[in-house]
Amino acid sequence: MKEGMENRSLPCIVLATGSSYKIALFERLGLPFTSCSPDYEEIIPPGRAPEHVARELAEGKARSLVEAFPDHLIIGADQVLALGSEIFQKPLTTERAVAQLMRLGGKTHFLHTAVCLLNTRVGENDRARHLMVSSAITFYDDLDGSVLYRLVKADASQDCVGGYKFESRGIQLMKCVETSDTNAIVGLPLLGLVGELRDLGYFDEPL
């Protein structure tokens, strides 16, 4: 048990999401947790660096659940896709997803995945911790619209920020991926998250 945590129970974990992708990723850690969709409107202010936007969205999701979950560790996460300085949002329809993927063809885009760990226990000095993984993804330059349409339909990837699923058929589009954690592309940077949770003492006791 980490210094300062003796004789006290750790806050229960709340994952601030309704995303089945993030929930499935976090389940891999083997820790008990609750998931709850955050009551938070994602607003992307113009002119902000994509990394800063991702961090603000992750923290905003976590803070939206503070009143509902006192004495908890709330984990919020979000992703921002940027092509140059342009930030993309979830396409939400197959047609918009195909159009977005065509724009990404032959180019390198960045997927910034941010996490905020917010301790709502009264009296904690270090209430918020942040981590970020930025992944550089380069698509092939010979993408075909009809092929992309079938891919998006097969993966139902229109609700993903990039319009693709790295863990499924979306890998067909990628010529090169540079990242410190491929889990971050799916939704949660598990390597960094494990490090933060280890530091807080969540893996000190047998599960």
Q: Residue 89 — φ and ψ, nearest 5°?
A: -115, 170
Q: Residue 35 — φ and ψ, nearest 5°?
A: -115, 145
Asked if the structure places residue 1 within a domain, the reply is: no
Enclosing domain of residue 179: 12-200
Asked if the structure places residue 205 within a domain, the reply is: no
Look at residue 204 in the predicted model and tell me its pLDDT. Answer: 84
Asked if the structure places residue 162 within a domain, the reply is: yes
Nearest to 100 by CA among 77, 75, 82: 82
Domain count, the chain: 1
Look at residue 67 in the predicted model and tell me its pLDDT. Answer: 93
Asked if the structure places residue 184 within a domain, the reply is: yes
Look at residue 126 in the predicted model and tell me its pLDDT. Answer: 53
Look at residue 206 in the predicted model and tell me its pLDDT. Answer: 55
CATH number assigned to the domain comprising residue 79: 3.90.950.10
What residues have CB less than 8 Å from 75, skipping those under 6 apart?
Answer: 13, 14, 15, 16, 26, 62, 115, 116, 117, 118, 193
Annotated catalytic residue within 71, 78, 159, 199: 78
Asked if the structure places residue 79 within a domain, the reply is: yes
Q: Residue 101 — φ and ψ, nearest 5°?
A: -65, -35
SS in 3 state form for 8-42? CCCCEEEECCCCHHHHHHHHCCCCCEEECCCCCCC
Look at residue 3 in the predicted model and tell me its pLDDT. Answer: 40
Asked if the structure places residue 5 within a domain, the reply is: no
What residues have CB less than 8 Å from 28, skipping those under 6 apart?
Answer: 190
155 is catalytic: no
Asked if the structure places residue 4 within a domain, the reply is: no
Reported as type and span, the H/E element at residue 118 is strand 108-119
Residue given tokens 């949660």 in the structure block: 188
Digitized pLDDT (tens) for each residue of the chain, 207 residues in all: 344 444 368 999 999 999 999 999 999 999 999 999 998 887 777 788 999 999 999 999 999 999 999 999 999 999 999 999 899 989 999 999 999 999 999 999 999 999 999 999 876 655 799 999 999 999 999 999 999 999 999 999 999 999 999 999 999 999 999 999 999 999 999 999 999 999 999 998 655
Q: Residue 92 — φ and ψ, nearest 5°?
A: 75, -20
The reported pTM is: 0.90
Asked if the structure places residue 6 within a domain, the reply is: no
